[in-house]
Homo-oligomer: A and B are copies of this chain.
Amino acid sequence: MPNLIAYGLGTKNTKSTVQMFINPYADGMKEGQNTSTWTSVDLAQLEFPVAAHYADITGNGFNDVIICDKYGPSMDDIWPDGGRVSWLENRGDQEHGDWTLHVIGNSPGMHRLKTGYFTRRDRIQICAVPIVVASSDLETPAPVTIFTAPDDPRNHDGLWPSEVVTKEHLVHEVVVIPAEGHDQFDRVLLAGRDGVYLIWFNGRVWEKFSVGEGLPRTSDNPFWGAGSVAVGRIDGDYAGYIASTEAFHGNTVSVYVKPSEDSVDGIVGNKWQRKVLDDYGPLNPKHTGSIHQVVCADIDGDGCDEFLVAMMGSDPPDFDRTGVWCYKYWTFTKTKLSSISAGRIATGHFMAPNPTDFATISYSVPGYFESPNPSVNIFLSTGILAEKLDEEICFRVVRAGSTRFTSEMEFLDVAGRKMTLVVLPPNRTLQLPAGDTPTAVKVMAGSVSWSDTSLEAQKDIHFLAPRPFEVQSMIVSADSLRSGDEGAIFVLFKPSDTSAKPPFSSMEQLEAQNILPAFVPDDVRAMKFPWVKVQDRPWAHGRFKGLEFYNLVGWHVRFADDSADELAHVQMWTAGVGVSAGFHNHVEKSFCEIHACISNGTGRGGMRWATVPDDEFDPANPDLSKTELLVVPDLHEHGALWHTQGDGYPQIRVNDTVDYPWHAWLAGDGDGDEQSFDVWVAFEFPSFGTYSPSPLPEVVKPGQRYVIQVPSTDRFIGLENGSSTDGTLAAAYRKPIVESQQWIVSRVPGTDLYEFVNVQTGSLLCAQWPPVQEQKIIGTHSPANMGITSRWVVGLNDSGLTISLRLPRMETELFLGASAVLQENDEGWPVVLREGGVKPPVWNLQPVQV
C-alpha cells in the first residue's frame, strides 16, 4: 500500500516542507494494528515546489521522488532563474527524512512533470512542462523538455542531458499514456490553451494528435482551451472517453466521446466529440473558477472508469464548487464524494487491494485563493461503516447484490471466536482462515454455499435460517465459501487465539474485546462490550434475580441507503448450568429470532418451546412436559420457532407482532459440580418467510427459462402486449412463443417457494391483493410485502408430467388456473386464481433452450 507525499507551495517567508505520510495499512489490515494515524516524515524543505512524480531512479527497488521547485509565489511572480527540477533519493528507510536532493535541470515557470520512456526505453526520462516562461506572459509558448537519466544518477556530476521537443501554450496538465501494442514509446497527453492533444516520438520525429480544442476563445477571457485532462477506460479500451476541465482553473466540465461507428480503441485516429456536461457558474473577475484537476479511476469496480473533478472552493464559499465530484460513466450523473477543498487528487489502493481509495490536498495559495482550512485528506472505500448508537454498534452496509467489492470487518473477539461482518458480492468466493479450527458462518442476507472438502459432491447452502424446528451446523467444512446470485451478508465466526476457548467455567473467561479496525471512528473503537447480569438490566424489573444469566449488547446491521432498512439487531447471551432464560413470547416487539450457539457448555442447552396453546402454559411455572427441546450444539443454529402459516410465513398477532409459542433457552444440567456456560448469539430479523416445516420435492430448476403451457393446447402464459407496465394481464396465448411468454424461475432463498420472472418485461407473475377465486393474474414489479402474492408453491402431480402452482396457504388454497370461460378464439385465455377442489389446475412446464 503506497504512502502519500504532500506539500504546499509555501510563501515568501516560509519554505514548503515536502512530507511523506506513512501508510498505516502498509502491510494490509494487520491483526492488532492499533492506529489509523498517518505519521509524517519530512523529505525536504523547498521554495515554491509545484509538481512531483516518482520513479526508481537508482534501481534500488524504492521509488525516488522527482520534484520541481523555485517556481515563484504565483504565475504573476515567476522566478526568472527558477523552475528547478530535482530528485530526492529514497534509500528505502522511510523512518528517516531529509532525502538527498540531486538537481536535474531547470526551466523557469516549471509546473508539471511526469516520468516515462519518451524517446528511449533504457533510461528513465522526465517530461517537464512550465505553465509560462515569465511572469504574466500568457503568450510566449513554454518548452516541453525531456530529461534523460545519466548512467549513474546518484554519483552523476552536473545536470541531466535534456532536449526541448516542442513549445506549448499554458499547459496545465500532463498525462503519460504508456506505450501499448506497437507503440515504441510512452505518449504525452497535454491540456492547455490549445485544448487537449497527444504528442509522441515516433522514433524519428515528434507527432501531434488533437483530441479537441476545448473551451472556445472569447474576447474578454485570457483563458481558453483546457485546464486538465484524464483518460477513462471503458472495459478493454483504455481510452473509452476523455474527461477534460476547461479552461485554466475554469468552471467547465467536458467529456470527449467517440462516435459509435468507425472508432478504434485508444486515442489516435478517432473523431472525438466534445460534450459540455457542467458549468459551475460564472468566472471571477480574474477569469478563473473553481476546478483544478480531473482524474479517472474505476471507483465502483465495474471495469469502466468514473472521473473525479477536484474543486478548489470559491469566495464566497459554495457547496457545488468545493470538494470532489464523481461523474459516473455512461450517464455522467454525478455524486459528491467530498466537500473539502481539493486542488489535486491522488487515487490508489491505500487500505486494501480493492476498491479504489483516493486522497486530496486543499488548494490554498496566498493572494490567489485560500481555502479556509487547508488539509490533506484520505478517503477510504469500504462497504461497511461502523457508528456508535449509545451502547451498541450500528453497522451500515451496502446491498450485497449491488456491490462489486467484498468488504470485511472484524469487530468482536469473544469465546474463542473473532466475529467478522462480511458483505460478499454475487457469486464471489471468500477464502477462509487456514488452520485446524474451522470457521463458522451465520447468514444475515442472501446465501452462501461451499463444497464439503471431505465429500466433494455434497454442497451446503445456508440462508437466513434452516428449516423450522431443525438445527444445522454453521461450520464451513471447506477452505472457502461462495455467495449466491443475490450475494451475501453474514457474520463469520473465525477462530481466535486471543480469547479463551470453550468450555467456560467463569464469566471472566468470556471477556469480549473490541477488535474493530483502525479506520473505524475512535468512539466506536473505544466501545466496551461488558457482559451485564440480566437481573441488572433495566428491563429486568425484578426478574432473573441471582441467575447466572448474562447479556451483551450488541449491534444493528442496517443498509447504508435511503431505506436505512434493518437487516437485524443482534445481541449475545450466556447462561450457567441449569439456568432458564425465562419463558417469553415476544409480544413487545416484532421480529423473527434465530439463535446461533457458540458454545453449548451445559451439554444439552437449547431452545424449549410450549407445544400447547399460549393460554394453557404458565411461563412463570413452566410444565416441561408441555414443551419440546431442540438442543443447539456448538456452532449450530436453529430454524424458525415462531408460528408459521404452513408455507413458511410468520403468523402475525393482532398487535402486529410475530406469533411465538412460549419459549426459552434452557441451559443443560452440566457435568457434575463445575459451573459451565452456554454462549449464544441472538439474531433478531424483521419478519421473513422461511421454509415450510417439511421439505418439498424440487420440481423446477432455478435459473432455467420455461414456458408454461395449458396442457393439450398450443397456449402458453404470456403478458398482454408484452407490456412491462405494472398490472398487465397475464393470459395464455397461442404459439408462436415470444419472449413475453417465457419465464425464468427462481427459488426464493431460504424458502420452498418460487418466483416466475417474465423474460421480456422483468415483471413477476403475481396475484393482486387480496388473492381471491377467479382473480386475474398480472405481471408486476411490486409484489406484496414478503412477496406473498408473487411466490408460488410448485407441486408435481401424480402423473409426474404436469405441475400445479399454488399461492402460499392463507385461508384457502388458491391455484393458478386458466379462465373458467375457455373459448376458442385468438385472444389470450385469462389466467386466474382458482381453488383446488379435488384436482388442482395443472400446467405443463417446459424448459426453453436459449
* Contact surface of A with B, Cβ cutoff 8 Å: 35, 37, 316-317, 319-320, 322, 336, 339, 372, 389-392, 394, 522-523, 525-526, 539-543, 556, 558, 561-562, 564, 585, 587-590, 614-615, 620, 645, 649-658, 687, 723-728, 763, 769-770, 772, 775, 780-786, 788-789, 810
Contacts and interface: CB of A to CB of B under 8 A. Distances in A.
Given A650-B656, A652-B654, A657-B785, A769 B319 contact: no
In the complex, the count of this chain's copies comes to 2
A755 B786 CA distance: 34
Given A542-B723, A615-B772, A656-B652, A35 B316 contact: yes
Contacts of A780: 541
A85 B786 CA distance: 74
A390 B615 CA distance: 47
Contacts of A657: 784-785
Contact of A37 (B37, B372, B620, B658): B372
Given A523-B339, A654-B810, A655-B649, A725 B394 contact: no
Contact of A725 (B319, B525, B542, B727): B542
Contacts of A540: 726
Nearest to A787: B655
Contact of A336 (B322, B523, B562): B523
A339 B564 CA distance: 27
Which 10 pairs show the lowest CB-CB distances between chains A and B?
A542-B725, A390-B562, A319-B526, A541-B726, A587-B784, A615-B772, A587-B769, A655-B788, A655-B785, A614-B770
A542 B762 CA distance: 13
A562 B394 CA distance: 9
A781 B392 contact: no
B654 A649 contact: yes
Given A543-B726, A654-B788, A789-B587, A389 B782 contact: no
A564 B558 CA distance: 10
B526 A320 contact: yes
Most buried by B among A392, A541, A556, A655: A655
A6 to B, nearest CB: 14
Given A336-B526, A620-B727, A645-B654, 19 more contacts: A35-B317, A37-B372, A322-B522, A339-B522, A392-B562, A539-B782, A541-B726, A542-B728, A543-B726, A556-B564, A588-B782, A590-B785, A614-B770, A615-B772, A615-B775, A651-B654, A652-B652, A656-B785, A657-B785
12 contacts: A319-B522, A390-B562, A541-B763, A541-B780, A542-B725, A614-B770, A615-B775, A649-B654, A652-B652, A653-B769, A655-B788, A657-B785
Given A541-B781, A542-B725, A562-B391, A769 B656 contact: no
Contacts of A390: 561-562
Given A35-B316, A391-B562, A654-B649, A541 B588 contact: no
A565 B731 CA distance: 44
A336 B391 CA distance: 12
Given A561-B390, A657-B785, A769 B541 contact: no
Most buried by B among A614, A687, A724, A784: A784
Contacts of A725: 541-543
B769 A614 contact: yes
Nearest to A687: B656
B35 A589 contact: no
A724 B541 contact: yes
Nearest to A728: B542
A781 B539 CA distance: 8
Nearest to A770: B614
Contacts of A589: 785
B588 A319 contact: no
Nearest to A561: B390
Contacts of A392: 562
Given A562-B390, A770-B614, A786 B655 contact: yes
Given A588-B784, A656-B687, A810-B654, A389 B522 contact: no
A788 B588 CA distance: 10
A769 B653 CA distance: 10
A588 B785 contact: yes
Given A391-B562, A587-B769, A769-B587, A541 B655 contact: no
Contacts of A561: 389-390
A657 B645 CA distance: 15
Contacts of A656: 590, 650, 652, 656, 658, 687, 785-786
A652 B653 CA distance: 8
A523 B340 CA distance: 11
Nearest to A527: B319
A394 B564 contact: yes
A384 to B, nearest CB: 17
Most buried by B among A541, A542, A775, A810: A541
A281 to B, nearest CB: 14
A373 to B, nearest CB: 8
A769 B585 contact: yes
Nearest to A340: B522
A4 to B, nearest CB: 15
A658 B687 CA distance: 14
Contacts of A543: 725-727
Given A317-B35, A615-B770, A652-B652, A783 B526 contact: no
Contacts of A785: 587-590, 655-657
A24 to B, nearest CB: 12
Nearest to A34: B316
Given A523-B336, A769-B614, A770-B614, A542 B654 contact: no
Contacts of A316: 35
A211 to B, nearest CB: 32
Given A320-B526, A392-B562, A562-B390, A588 B542 contact: no
